[in-house]
Amino acid sequence: MGQTVTTWQTTQVRWAGINPLSDREQFYASQVRPETTHRVTFRYFDTLTHRHRLKMGNRIFDILSILNLNEAAETLQVDVVERVA
């Protein structure tokens, strides 16, 4: 019908740590972003943007914020929300 269809493609595969936020962390995170559910930690790389999404197995995560910890270009902390199908 001429509509645009969004597709996703894998651009990089990386090791990361993913942790669900505790009730207290989720409460404080909700002050800024009510939907934050997990925090992902990566070794620093500069190509990650908010236009990307993260995938772990069959789980999909939308990126809410990307933080270069200590501005040291060593570690990225990414707050995400899990997309429920």
In a domain, 74, yes or no: yes
In a domain, 10, yes or no: no
In a domain, 5, yes or no: no
In a domain, 71, yes or no: yes
Q: How many CB atoms neighbour CB 61 within 10 A?
A: 20
In a domain, 28, yes or no: yes
- Tell me what percent of the chain is helix, strand and coil, each rounded to the nearest 5: 15, 40, 50
- Kindly report, residue by residue over 10-36, the tens digit of the pLDDT: 888 999 999 887 655 555 555 555 577
- Kindly report, residue by residue over 56-65, the tens digit of the pLDDT: 989 899 999 9
Domain range for residue 75?
A: 17-83
Structural domain tally of the chain? Answer: 1
pTM for this prediction: 0.75
Q: What distance in Å separates the CA atoms of residue 51 and residue 26, rounded to the nearest whole number?
A: 23
